Amino acid sequence: MINKRNFEKILKTSRSHHALAFKLAYHYKLRISDIVRLERSDFDFDNKDILIRRIVPIMVKYSNKIISIDEIINLIPIKCSRRALEIAFKRRADKAGLKACFNDLRN
């Protein structure tokens, strides 16, 4: 499990699109497959909902304190593959002195 202090260390050294993906996983417990499929149209800015398209779609509430509208507009869709995000996270975690993988963000 990654605590808040360690998560902040990882974010500080991350590129903006990676940081957004990491925040979606850490704060909203989204799976990596959900994150790479997100489109801008999945975000309801009025109600602060994110539509997660699965076999049974779900809605997740988000907060502008964690994810800004600018991040959503400028960085969604995230132009990374699942594997690229896994590698980026592993590198950032290693740099922060942590033994962690992307899925640890969801715990």
**What are the sequence ranges of the domains in the chain?**
4-106
Nearest to 87 by CA among 45, 1, 95: 95
pTM: 0.92
pLDDT in tens, 10-21: 999 999 999 999
Q: Would you put residue 48 in left (φ > 0), alpha (ψ -120 to 50) or beta? A: left
**At 99, which amino acid appears?**
K
**Predicted local distance difference test score (pLDDT) of residue 41:** 95
**Whole-angstrom distance, CA of residue 26 vs CA of residue 104:** 8
- Which CATH architecture fits 4-106? Orthogonal Bundle (1.10)
In tens, the pLDDT along 34-65 reads 999 999 999 999 999 999 988 888 999 999 99
- List pLDDT tens digits, range 75-98: 999 999 999 999 999 999 999 999
